Amino acid sequence: MDGSVHHDITVGTKRGSDELFSSVSSNPYIMSTTANGNDSKKFKGDIRGPSVPSRVIHIRKLPSDITEAEVISLGVPFGDVTNLLMLKAKNQAFLEMNSEEAAQNLVGYYSTMVPIIRHHPVYVQFSNHKELKTDNSPNQERAQAALRALSSSHVDTAAVAPSTVLRVVVENLIYPVTLDALCQIFSKFGTVLRIIIFTKNNQFQALLQYSDGASAQAAKLSLDGQNIYNGCCTLRISFSKLTSLNVKYNNEKSRDFTRPDLPTGDGQPTMEHTAMATAFTPGIISAAPYAGATHAFPPAFTLQPAVSSPYPGLAVPALPGALASLSLPGATRLGFPPIPAGHSVLLVSNLNPERVTPHCLFILFGVYGDVMRVKILFNKKENALVQMSDSTQAQLAMSHLNGQRLHGKPVRITLSKHTSVQLPREGHEDQGLTKDYSNSPLHRFKKPGSKNYSNIFPPSATLHLSNIPPSVVEDDLKMLFASSGAVVKAFKFFQKDHKMALIQVGSVEEAIESLIEFHNHDLGENHHLRVSFSKSSI
């Protein structure tokens, strides 16, 4: 899990054509033009280098029916888009921003919020090229026309929505709602640029700015009247009279995703209940129109928040299980109240009593925190108690694992009424159903500042492997994972060295069982395999 797991997303090969680029590479290009026009040229020679900042952004794995406007809309929130090259036959595009700073903000943002275009995750990284050169092919003329239309016509968002800014009131606030929770909910409808939360007239409220009016309209239509948690925290959404939000600090009360450089404002008075009457002074919220907000692109892409962020204060934690599935009617959506401090015991139910063991729960829950004790209930073996080291880790484990399938059954996780797991009394044998792991060497989070803290991801079919000895090759690892019944779909060593790799199996359930089986597996040469969930696919 250590090392460069956060580079998962950028592993890949970039290609370019010297006719269209002024290349920073001196390698010769080999090209053959096909009858399909410019975007079908075959080229070689652009060897993937380090992720050096550049104004040119390389976008991969685009859906084949992507439009120029949709690609441009990825860049608009961060600054002016000065050039575009579409390589539709290769499902790729290159976007040139007006400044390197704008490009850095764009790549930083999309490394934490993977854009989803037409249900496909799209991968964004810096290009090896410092600028784009374009020609007069029909494809390029289309791209240039899209750019000209963007810069010349300031589309009136009123045609789509009165504003790109939504005012959100949360009624019946039984459980606290965080800024991060709102970001994840609203990001499903488009790019959230800025958000401010506050309490006014004893009501929890938020102002939330999208990059375009169509996204604001879609979010309002879909979410107005929905419950965040089961039977409470009802969203009431209206269009704000403001055209833009002016955010000064990135913290738990306000966030500007286009400005990762903003201070956290530590020591500044936060916008608490009593302060809100005076909080709306000039500077916290301004009506200055935002340049990018007037371009009404269709809500073609939404964002998938990841758990960690390269910027302090910009982490977007994943929401509790069912919250992520906003297609459910509000009345059936389940959520979790925050776990009070001092409570760290989880009740895990609907387990498969034939197969579950304390060790299996220790390894799985250990991905999200350090497990102190596990107890499988003697008279009801489909239930277990799992004691984490603190309430934050218990919340993380519950958020990520509730509803996941383990040995064929979706597990249910709630907060236990117990504050600790009792060990069996002296002389009372409980058939090994209770285990104390408080001194286990397998705890991932013992060291303060461990890289494991920034690499916590939801269960996925792709696993990150590390601590692989030099003698172990790809086939060894594929055979190892296949030996437990998993279907190995893809495998890739990291480019830097072969100590780390990604392996993709047939399903999330297979990945969960593989992690339980092979984390700490002895690979020889005093190397024990480390396994964790990856944030990207191969």
CB atoms within 10 A of CB 12: 15
Instruction: Outline where DSSP puts E strands in 291-383.
Output: 301-305, 345-349, 371-376
Predicted pLDDT of residue 429: 66
Tokens for 449, please give them.
């500042």
The span from the first CA to the last CA of the chain, in angstroms, equals 16
Helix pair 391-401, 358-365: axis angle to 10 deg = 100
- Alpha carbon of 252 to those of 181, 265, 322: distances in Å? 11, 10, 23
d(CA 90, CA 60): 8
At 451 the three-state DSSP class reads helix
316 alpha-carbon distance from chain centroid: 7
CA-only gyration radius of the chain, Å: 25
| DSSP per-residue string spanning 121-152 | E-EEEE-S-SEE-----HHHHHHHHHHHHHHH
Tokens for 516, please give them.
């339980």
Give the angle 12-16-18 at the CA atoms, nearest 5°.
Answer: 155
- Residue-level length of the chain: 538
- Alpha carbon of 353 to those of 63, 109, 185, 340, 379: distances in Å? 43, 43, 35, 30, 11
Predicted pLDDT of residue 282: 23
Yes or no: say if 398 and 339 are a contact pair by the CB < 8 Å rule. yes
Predicted pLDDT of residue 56: 95
Tokens for 95, please give them.
């976007």
At 399 the three-state DSSP class reads helix
Query: Which of 292, 430, 444 minimizes the C-alpha distance to 364?
Result: 444
**Local confidence pLDDT in tens for the 538 residues of the chain:** 444 333 333 333 333 333 333 333 333 222 222 333 343 343 333 334 446 889 999 999 998 888 888 888 788 777 788 999 999 899 999 999 999 988 988 887 777 667 767 667 788 999 998 988 877 777 788 888 888 876 544 443 334 568 899 999 998 887 778 888 898 788 777 788 899 999 888 889 999 998 888 788 878 877 888 887 766 788 999 999 998 899 999 888 999 887 877 888 753 333 333 222 222 222 212 222 222 222 223 233 333 333 333 333 333 333 333 333 333 222 222 334 455 666 789 999 999 999 999 999 999 999 999 999 999 998 899 999 999 998 878 888 888 898 899 999 999 998 888 889 988 887 666 678 999 999 999 999 887 666 777 778 889 999 999 999 999 999 999 999 999 899 999 999 988 778 999 999 999 999 999 999 999 999 988 899 999 999 877 8
Domains of the chain from N-terminus onward: 56-150 (3.30.70.330), 165-256 (3.30.70.330), 345-450 (3.30.70.330), 457-533 (3.30.70.330)
d(CA 346, CA 388): 8
Query: Which of 208, 181, 204, 185 minimizes the C-alpha distance to 196?
Result: 208
Tokens for 52, please give them.
């050096």
